[in-house]
Amino acid sequence: MKLSYTILYVENAVETVEFYEKAFGLTRRFIHESGDYAEMETGVTTLGFAAHNLAADILKRSYVKAGGSTGLIGAQITLEPDDVKAAFAHALANGAKALVAPDVKPWNFEVAMVEDCNGHIVEFAKAVDN
């Protein structure tokens, strides 16, 4: 078995794609003509966005939306940039909200975290060369 998709439920899939293009430098792969589903080019595992109305139709039950009054959702996606500090600064300059400033962790990874336009946690992480 392999991980093939990560799909985030969002307010507006098209606006989220535009945000991810600007803030993270990702490229859109596909936007459905309805505007309720979209995908980004992210390598082997696809990052997709489904509008809340589409997610509700599929799930047939309620769920906790990211960015709500309950605080951050206990999940994240991680992107591996060439330069964590530069990616963090670029994301902030393009509308992301700072959560964790760049720092080298004991496990020898430089990491930083931001909140996207929907309240999802996005981590930048890269192994530190010895």
Instruction: Classify domain 75-130 at the CATH topology level.
Output: 2,3-Dihydroxybiphenyl 1,2-Dioxygenase; domain 1 (3.10.180)
Mean pLDDT calculated for residue range 110-117:
98
What pLDDT score does 121 carry? 97
pLDDT in tens, 48-86: 999 999 999 999 998 888 987 778 888 999 999 999 999
Report which DSSP code applies to 64: P
Q: Is 77 helix (H, G, I), strand (E, B) or coil?
A: strand
| pLDDT average, residue stretch 94-113 | 97
> Are 96 and 116 within 8 A, CB to CB?
yes
**Is-contact 115 96, C-beta < 8 A?**
yes
- Give Cβ neighbours of residue 128 (< 8 Å, ≥ 6 apart): 104, 108, 109, 110
What mean pLDDT is predicted for residues 31-43?
96
Whether residue 130 is predicted with pLDDT greater than 60 in this model: the reply is no
Locate CATH 3.10.180.10 in the chain.
Answer: 75-130
Cα 75 to chain centroid distance, Å, stands at 10
Q: What is the mean pLDDT of residues 37-46?
A: 95
Global pTM reads 0.93
Residue ranges, CATH 3.30.720.120, the chain: 1-63
Return mean pLDDT, the chain. 95
Q: Are 122 and 115 in contact (CB under 8 A)?
A: yes
CATH number of 1-63: 3.30.720.120
Model pLDDT, residue 64? 87
